[in-house]
Amino acid sequence: MRRIILSFVFLSPFVLSAQKAERKNLREGNKQYNDEKYTEAEISYRRSLEVNPTSEQGIFNLGNALFKQEKYNEAGEQYKMSAQMQKDPTKAAAAWHNLGNISSQAKDYAKSIEAYKQALRLNPNDDETRYNLVLAQKLLQEQQNQQNQDQEKDNQQQEENKDDQNKDQQNQPQQQDQNQQNQDEQNQQQQDQQMSKENAEQILEALQQDEKATQDRINKEQMKQVKQKITEKDW
């Protein structure tokens, strides 16, 4: 009689306890996430990953909790790992979808378009991803149009600055001539003022001398009269 050999796999109490702890933390995290307690949910998901670092559900859900807290860089790392690890195409597509959302938040629409396309390759029936793809394409076109307009304005402003610079260079000799003319006029005015001052001083001095001469003549006439009076009296 042929012997049938059976093999049994026995799970150790430690493994069973770890699985139980992982599931417990995942359930708590999911409840906290649904209650919009995203910080507490992040902690619970991280605890589940401490028990099982390769938990596909833990990694993806941690990314969601981080995304809700606007920790986009950290969330992106979790979604990348989830997209690489997931064996289910639908779940991998969800990770790519969320990566597209993160890129859209950063206005990196070209990158988000590629992520949405990858999600649709894995799950072609996802209408939400298809809508996000069309929206990202539209936003990318508007962004490029705005960049082109800004570039045209910059070029126009540079041309205007060059024109102004050329005008300034052309007007510089005229301005120098005008400045020189103004300087000459100021010098002439100063000279005229100096001459006027000197003339006034000369006229004043002449008047003073003339007044002195007149006064001398008057004094002489008076002395002469006095002498005459005295002589007449004595005589």
Is the predicted pLDDT of residue 191 greater than 90, yes or no?
no
Better pLDDT: 217 or 228 = 217
CA-CA-CA-CA torsion sign (143, 147, 153, 156): negative
> Running DSSP on this structure, what letter comes out for residue 88?
S
pLDDT of residue 6: 45
Rounded Cα gap, residues 19 and 189, in angstroms: 103
Q: Which pLDDT does position 226 carry in this prediction?
A: 42
Alpha-carbon dihedral sign for residues 16, 35, 49, 111: positive
- Residue 12 backbone dihedrals phi, psi, to 5 degrees: -70, 155
- Weakest-pLDDT range from 34-43, 82-91, 97-106, 190-199: 190-199
Per residue in 121-140, pLDDT (tens digit) is 999 999 999 999 999 999 99
The amino acid at 2 = R
pLDDT digits (tens, 9 = 90+) for 139-162: 999 999 999 998 888 888 888 887
Name, of 12-26, 33-47, 179-193, 209-223, the range with top average pLDDT: 33-47
Domain map of the chain by residue range? 14-85, 86-143
Please determine, looking at this structure, whether the domain spanning 14-85 carries the CATH number 1.25.40.10.
yes
Residue 11, pLDDT score:
46
162-193: b (≥16 Cβ within 10 Å) or e: eeeeeeeeeeeeeeeeeeeeeeeeeeeeeeee
* Residue 192 scores a pLDDT above 80: no
Rg of the chain over CA atoms, in angstroms? 52
Q: What is the mean pLDDT of the chain?
A: 81
Q: Are 131 and 119 in contact (CB under 8 A)?
A: no
Angle, helix 109-122 to helix 127-234, in steps of 10 degrees: 170
Region 168-173: mean pLDDT is: 71
Q: What is the pLDDT of residues 38-97, one digit of tens each?
A: 999 999 999 999 999 999 999 999 999 999 999 999 999 999 999 999 889 999 999 999
Banded pLDDT at 228 (limits 50, 70, 90): very low
pLDDT of residue 220: 65
- What would the mean pLDDT of 24-50 be, rounded to a whole number? 96
Architecture of the domain spanning 86-143:
Alpha Horseshoe (1.25)
